[in-house]
Amino acid sequence: MLLNTAVILLASSSALAIPTEFTENQDLKRELGGISLWRGKVGPKVDDVMQHDMGMDWLYCVASWLAESEQHQKKLIDRLPGVSLEQGGQTISDTNVELWNIKENTWKTYEGRKYSEVMVGSNGNGSMAYDDLWWPGALGDVARVIADEEGYAPEDYIIPTGINADVGMKMLLGEDGASKKLEGDDDQIRDELHQVLDGANTSPVCPWRNNLWITVLSTEEGTNIETYHSDKHEYKIESFDDVYQHTTWYAKLEESL
């Protein structure tokens, strides 16, 4: 396999410019015991997702795709019942979260997730949001509760190093997904991965690379693959060979959205 090392970095946590007035407003909201779930009327965006060492990439690779999709962003907002697009940009100290509970096989609402509890250790020691925008933390807090419940999922949901990303798809969308290890000869793997990546324009696709589930945001016929890495708060434009070189597993929905 040949690695194309030409990777174009689009944005990173150090490169994203946050307006001073926004930061000052967030400081004031924090003093009031809450903060915005997202920026104004923009709604959840992939820029908001930044995890450190919480091991929630199996959820955030899916949430990042939904946040970036104009067509499907509302599915993410719906996971915070009672919060409108406009309200999410205001000071909020607590919110309800609704996720699919795999063990109980139904949507379940978890009430009163508090900003002060969800964002403990933020900005370097477990924050699951950038600049404390806390919709990712609220979702991750509840997803972790569900994942910790004994017997929540069959063993084939688990890969040796953690939880498969199709669990995140089920929790956020209520739709069945599948995680699959790439196996076979070189041509078989290339053909399979091409087909999977092409589906990222209409449904979430999460490759497993370097012990992390990442997000494929879009692709142009298997080239110019736009990826997002939640651990580094980083976008990349990559070639097919870049993705192929490092991918060992992938997760996708059984049926496209």
pLDDT tens-digit map of 23-77: 555 555 555 556 889 988 889 999 888 875 567 889 999 999 999 999 999 999 9
On the CB side of 250, CA atoms within 13 Å amount to 25
pLDDT band for position 161 (50/70/90)?
low
Does residue 115 contact residue 97 with C-beta atoms inside 8 Å?
A: no
Residue 85 falls within a domain, yes or no?
A: yes
Mean pLDDT of 223-251: 90
Mean pLDDT check: name the lowest of 115-119, 163-167, 168-172, 216-220: 115-119
- Nearest CA-CA partner of 180 in 254, 74, 92, 97: 254
In this predicted model, which residue has the larger pLDDT, 153 or 96? 96
The pLDDT, as a whole number, for residue 2 is: 29
Residue 5 falls within a domain, yes or no?
A: no
The pLDDT, as a whole number, for residue 15 is: 38
pLDDT at residue 186 tops 50: yes
Residue 28 falls within a domain, yes or no?
A: yes
Could you report the per-residue pLDDT of 72-130, keeping only the tens digit for each?
999 999 999 999 999 999 888 899 999 998 888 999 999 988 887 776 544 444 445 55
- Nearest CA-CA partner of 137 in 155, 114, 158: 114
The pLDDT, as a whole number, for residue 223 is: 78
pLDDT band for position 148 (50/70/90)?
confident
The pLDDT, as a whole number, for residue 14 is: 35
Which residues have C-beta within 8 Å of that of residue 147, sequence separation ≥ 6?
163, 167
Residue 61 falls within a domain, yes or no?
A: yes
- Nearest CA-CA partner of 48 in 146, 122, 156, 157: 122
> Considering its fold, how many domains does the chain have in total?
1
Cα–chain center distance at 30:
24
Residue 211 falls within a domain, yes or no?
A: no
Q: Tell me the residue range of the domain where 99 lies.
A: 17-148
Per residue, the 3-state secondary structure of the chain, as one string, reads CCCCCCCEEEECCCCCCCCHHHHHHHHHHHHCCCECCCCHHHCCCHHHCCCCCCCCHHHHHHHHHHHHCCCCHHHHHCCCCCCCCCHHHCCECEEEEEEEECCCCEEEEEEEEEHHHHCCCCCCCCCCCCCCCCHHHHHHHHHHHHHHCCCCCCHHHEECCEECHHHHHHHHHCCCEEEEECCCCHHHHHHHHHHHHHHHHCCCEEEEECCEECEEEEEECCEEEEEEECCCCEEEEECHHHHHHHEEEEEEECCCC
Does residue 2 contact residue 243 with C-beta atoms inside 8 Å?
A: no
Neighbouring CB atoms inside 10 A of 247's CB total 18
In this predicted model, which residue has the larger pLDDT, 151 or 219? 219
> How many Å apart are CA 35 and CA 27, to the nearest integer?
8
The pLDDT, as a whole number, for residue 91 is: 85
> How many Å apart are CA 16 and CA 113, to the nearest integer?
28
Mean pLDDT check: name the lowest of 8-22, 106-120, 150-164: 8-22
**Percent of the chain clearing pLDDT 90 (strictly above):** 46
Mean pLDDT, rounded, of the chain: 80
- Looking at this protein, which amino acid is placed at residue 203? S
**Percent of the chain clearing pLDDT 70 (strictly above):** 75
From residue 60, alpha-carbon distances to 4, 23, 48, 140, 170 in Å are 27, 24, 10, 8, 13
